[in-house]
Copies of this chain bind each other. A is one copy, B any other.
Amino acid sequence: MCELLGMNANVPTDIVFSFTGLMQRGGRTGPHKDGWGVAFYEGRGVRLFQDPAPGCDSEVAQLVQRFPIKSEVVIAHVRQANVGQVCLANTHPFVRELWGRNWCFAHNGQLTAFTGRRDFYCPVGDTDSEAVFCDLLNRIRGAFADDAPVQLLLPLLLNACAEYRRQGVFNCLLSNGQWLFGFCSTKLARITRRAPFGPAHLKDVELEVDFHAQTTANDVVTVLATEALTDNEQWTLFQPGEWGLWAAGECIASGRLD
């Protein structure tokens, strides 16, 4: 299994604090030693840092922690391999261009023997996760001729999630840089931080941050993670089948599949 981290905010926001907590689970406080990756959207571009080395001692991860990239949408992942060998091509998040935007996907869980239809998007590596992502994009492309607003995509997206979770464990994060979608099949938590901001303390390493000093009164920042990253804040657990869609830090749609 793996751990997911997603962030969506209404202003470019530094993810270093949460990312530092996640990286501890990459081989130190958690067993997810088979690589890690993080995608930061920057305008329409995306910065992707990945390493098949454990997050807790990856030199690239240390750079990311020193280098406060601010972003409105971030998707990160630490991996404990089940399907597919440990190599760069099997490291989440996965990115593909669709309709002139970078779509980014990370998955926690396992879909044993998943086989997508071989179509336009093909997996580069050999994980079930990348095969699911390609299958999902192939469905979207097959159903819509051109750039469709996410509200129109939602029924297709939810049908696909329902199908994938029948085949295994399927917690996922998906974004095209404009919104962040999260689906919980078994385990996912969320928190939305807004004024008045207070201090937050990481569970996985002795580190506290005072968000009040780093934010303005108008900032809204939502974080999704497999497990709560802090131990002094109230995280909400998703129920199995629950999903949400965030833009500019706010939830714009949500629901629960049977």
Chain A interface residues toward B at CB < 8 A: 42-48, 50, 59-60, 63, 67, 87-91, 96-97, 99-102, 120-125
CB pair B44–A124 under 8 Å, yes or no, is: yes
CB pair B122–A99 under 8 Å, yes or no, is: yes
With a cutoff of 8 Å between Cβ atoms, the chain B residues found around residue A48 in the complex are 48
Listed by A's residue number, 30 A-B pairs whose Cβ atoms lie within 8 Å are A42-B89, A43-B87, A43-B88, A44-B87, A44-B88, A44-B89, A44-B124, A44-B125, A45-B87, A45-B88, A45-B89, A45-B90, A45-B124, A45-B125, A46-B88, A47-B88, A48-B48, A59-B63, A59-B67, A60-B63, A60-B67, A63-B63, A96-B97, A97-B122, A97-B124, A99-B122, A100-B122, A100-B124, A101-B124, A102-B124
State the number of copies, please.
2
With a cutoff of 8 Å between Cβ atoms, the chain B residues found around residue A89 in the complex are 42-45
Task: Compute how far the CA of A170 lies from the CA of B63 in the bound complex, rounded to whole angstroms.
Answer: 35
Task: Compute how far the CA of A91 lies from the CA of B48 in the bound complex, rounded to whole angstroms.
Answer: 13
With a cutoff of 8 Å between Cβ atoms, the chain B residues found around residue A96 in the complex are 97
Task: Compute how far the CA of A35 lies from the CA of B210 in the bound complex, rounded to whole angstroms.
Answer: 34
For A42, the closest partner residue in chain B by CB is: B88
Closest 6 CB pairs of A and B: A45-B88, A45-B89, A100-B122, A44-B89, A42-B88, A63-B63
With a cutoff of 8 Å between Cβ atoms, the chain B residues found around residue A50 in the complex are 45, 47
With a cutoff of 8 Å between Cβ atoms, the chain B residues found around residue A59 in the complex are 63, 67
Q: How many Å from the CB of A143 to the closest CB on chain B?
A: 15
**Beyond the given A45-B89, A47-B88, A97-B122, could you list 17 further A-B residue pairs with CB under 8 A, ordered by the A residue number?**
A42-B89, A43-B87, A44-B125, A45-B87, A45-B88, A45-B91, A45-B124, A45-B125, A46-B88, A47-B50, A59-B63, A59-B67, A96-B97, A97-B121, A97-B124, A101-B124, A120-B120
With a cutoff of 8 Å between Cβ atoms, the chain B residues found around residue A44 in the complex are 87-89, 124-125
Q: How many Å from the CB of A38 to the closest CB on chain B?
A: 13
Task: Compute how far the CA of A91 lies from the CA of B44 in the bound complex, rounded to whole angstroms.
Answer: 11
